[in-house]
Amino acid sequence: MSNRLDRRTFLTGTAAGLGSLVILGDPAAALAAGRRRVRRAQTPLALDGRFAQSVASGQPGQNAITLWTKVDELTRASRLQVEVSPDRDFRRIIARKDVVAGPETGYTVNTRVSARALRPGEQYFYRFYTCNENSPVGRFKTARPADSREPVRIGFFSCQEFNSGFYTAHAALAQESDLDLVVCLGDYIYEKNFEDRPVRDDTTGANRDGEVQTLPEYRDKYSLYHSDQDLLAVRASHPMMAIWDDHEVEDNYAAGRQGGQTDDRRIPYAQRQANAYTAFFEYMPRIRARDDRDRTFGRLPLGANADVFLLDTRRFRDDQPCNPSDTGFMPCPPAVRADPSRTLLGARQKSWLLNGLASSQATWKVVANQIMIMALDAPRLSPLNTDQWDGYEAERRELLEFVQARGVRDLTFLTGDIHTFFAGNVSPSGRQDELSNPGSAATEFVGGSITSKGIADQQGEPPADAVAIPSDESVYANNPHIRFSNQRFKGYGVLEARPSELVVQYRAVQTTQSRTSSAFTLASFRVASGTPRVEVTQQPAAGPRPLPQIGAGAARARARRRRRR
């Protein structure tokens, strides 16, 4: 089939009116849509334009999807069309809609396609087009029926600083089969250059140093990241939901409080934050909420096996404790970390999350969360990083004790931020202390970064075993609740929610320093339904092993022996 569309089809379809949705093959729906037309659209047709940033989909529903694109080389608001088909070659068109790309959104388009012709749990293809240009073809899957017991597959990634390396992991993620959803767990962009040994250039910003603050600069930053074809392939291949962490705005910011890493503040922080939020929603495939246009937290049901809860741990939080300059790791007294007056989620979001977890009928409650909820200590009981849940211990305890008291089963957290692969068990204290707190309420899977450097690989990428292995051994020695640690490799994770178990794979690449790299399975895990403990089913042949899992009975016996001695 020719890549060019019949322009008569385009002109006839757009004449129907701005924003109209034509459901082909469903006369009743088409008639209803026709009755809703008020006036003929006055926005001119887009004759040309380029789709250099490809297409994306998000917010999958059982009969709906949000579709995204950006049209370059337009000089005024222009009308184009999007169409959806069950066929890759578009032999059958089941939905067609007029949309407008205009300067007020940087010529990006976010449109919701909702139609009875879209069936739950099915794969579809879509494309945008002007009179003379077609976009690349994208693919999405609608959400599974509420009673579907089919496995749900979710890919997750985070932390992709552009100049730290190439997106070799995205090349593999784009090829993952039968994903219902991909979640970006934060740090989709970096607001400035943190890499001291850049692999590729980032010259965005007024000073061409990578630091962006104005809305046009943030738009340029997203466009730079979208010059990577492997990232574009992920966006076009799977429905994607992104939640922001700090670098989408400014490193270590908290609510309306600025971070501490800006080199040259050219505009007030509040304006910078507003610009960053605007650009985020322009470039992500999601429709902004009418009642709260900056809201990112929400719930996405994906059938009987999985409810996905998307959190926002930046917009409502109190400032991280004991680190006013936001640099390095600072010791923090327990009374400060556990101050009950401090919040991470904010009252509204916390109430929404607790109510949602208690009411969910899905087997697995999957919380997409930016920051690590397990404690990360060095030495024992001394948190390394109060920017994560370790700095908000009272709220962590409240959440996990609520889960235990209400009998919420099969809760797992997917986490980004820390540029390291971890997996383990989550208790109200955040720790699996063998003396006082042997039980857990949930599990957590922390994905390694796509490119961003962690602690171990500051010495090179990938870090030598002489650096990475001792770092992992220290994690195990000080954190018995962490069942897996790997600080050497970069990559992503894939979670599969089944009726009786959760299966997770960590996929890694050999390097991010060259444009291509082979991907491999770094580790695999299993969580049995009703048992909130991570079982490592496959891990690297080389490297340290975690300490043996300590059960409640064994922990009490060890404590009695120590007391007798």
**Residue 40's CATH number:** 2.60.40.380
Integer Cα distance of 489 and 419 in angstroms: 9
Does 344 reside within a domain?
Answer: yes
Mean per-residue pLDDT for 412-428? 97
Contacts of 300 (CB under 8 A, 6+ apart): 59, 60, 143, 181, 241, 307, 308, 309, 310
Instruction: Flag whether 114 is in a domain.
Output: yes
Mean pLDDT of the chain: 89
- The reply to whether 160 and 136 lie within a common domain is no
The kind and range of the H/E element at 403 are helix 393-405
Peptide bond into 27 cis (omega under 30): no
Residues 125 and 40 occupy one common structural domain: yes
Q: Has residue 57 been placed in a domain?
A: yes
At which of 141, 173, 198 does a domain end? Answer: 141
Residue 146 lies in a domain: no
**366: part of which helix (H) or strand (E)?**
strand 364-369
C-alpha pair distances (Å), 134 with each of 2, 67, 129, 263, 450: 11, 15, 4, 41, 30
Contact 181, 239 (CB under 8 A): yes
β-pair partners for 519: 509
Over range 534-555, report the average pLDDT: 70
Name the band, by pLDDT with cuts 50, 70 and 90, for residue 263.
confident
Angle among Cα 166, 169, 175 to the nearest 5 degrees reads 125
Q: How confident is the model at residue 21 (pLDDT cuts 50, 70, 90)?
A: low
Is residue 300 over pLDDT 80? yes
350 sits in which H/E element:
helix 347-359
Examine residue 148 and state whether it is found in any structural domain, yes or no.
no
Which pLDDT band, with edges at 50, 70 and 90, does 546 fall under? Answer: confident
Helix (H, G, I), strand (E, B) or coil at 556: helix
> Looking at the structure, do residues 163 and 183 belong to the same domain, yes or no?
yes
- Residue-wise pLDDT for 24-60, tens only, equals 444 334 334 433 333 335 799 998 899 999 999 999 9
Task: Give Cβ neighbours of residue 308 (< 8 Å, ≥ 6 apart).
Answer: 154, 181, 183, 241, 299, 300, 301, 302, 366, 367, 368
Residue that is last in its domain, among 92, 120, 141: 141
Question: Could you give the CA distance from residue 22 to residue 45 in angstroms, rounded to a whole number?
Answer: 18
What secondary structure letter does DSSP report for 46? P
CATH assignment at residue 499 = 3.60.21.70
- The dihedral region occupied by 106, where left means phi > 0, alpha psi between -120 and 50, and beta the remainder, is left
Directed axis angle between helix 269-283 and helix 215-225, to 10°? 40
Q: Are residues 222 and 326 in the same domain?
A: yes
* Measured CA distances, 403 to 27, 177, 245 (Å): 48, 33, 25
**147 lies in a domain?**
no
Residues 28 and 111 reside in one and the same domain: yes
Shared domain check, 406 and 370 = yes
Question: Per residue in 307-360, pLDDT tens?
Answer: 999 999 999 999 999 977 666 667 899 999 999 999 999 999 999 999 999 999
User: Is 129 among the domain residues?
Assistant: yes
**126 and 174 part of one domain:** no
Q: What residues make up the domain containing 126?
A: 7-141
Token look-up 């692999």 returns 199
Q: Is a pLDDT exceeding 70 seen at residue 437?
A: no
Question: What pLDDT, on a 0 to 100 scale, did the predictor assign at position 463?
Answer: 65
Confidence at residue 448, expressed as pLDDT on a 0 to 100 scale: 95
For residue 251, pLDDT over 50 is answered with yes
Per-residue pLDDT at 107 exceeds 50: yes
Domains held by the chain: number = 2
Residues 485 and 534 in one domain: yes
pLDDT at 328: 61
547 vs 277, more confident: 277
- Structural domain ending residue among the three candidates 141, 167, 193: 141
- 182 and 269 belong to one structural domain: yes
Q: Are 38 and 20 in contact (CB under 8 A)?
A: no
Same domain? For 191 and 81 the reply is no
Nearest to 195 by CA among 222, 220, 234, 166: 166
Question: Is the domain of 212 the same as that of 103?
Answer: no
Q: Residues 259, 324: one domain?
A: yes
pLDDT at residue number 11: 43
> Token pair of 61, please?
């529903």
Note the pLDDT of residue 462. Answer: 64
Q: How far apart are CA 343 and CA 356, in angstroms?
A: 19
The three-class DSSP label of residue 475 is helix
Residues 185 and 244: their CA atoms lie apart, in Å, by: 7
Q: Read off the pLDDT of each residue in 133-149 and give the average, rounded to a whole number.
A: 97
In this predicted model, what pLDDT tens digit does every residue of 444-490 receive, in sequence order?
A: 999 999 999 987 776 665 666 777 888 899 999 999 999 999 999 99
Per cent of the chain over pLDDT 90 is: 79
Locate tokens 């959190």: which residue? 311
User: For residue 325, is it within any domain?
Assistant: yes
Please report the pLDDT score of residue 261 as a whole number.
81
In angstroms, the CA 321 to CA 335 distance is 11
Let me know the angle formed at the C-alpha of 527 by 524 and 531, rounded to the nearest 5 degrees.
160
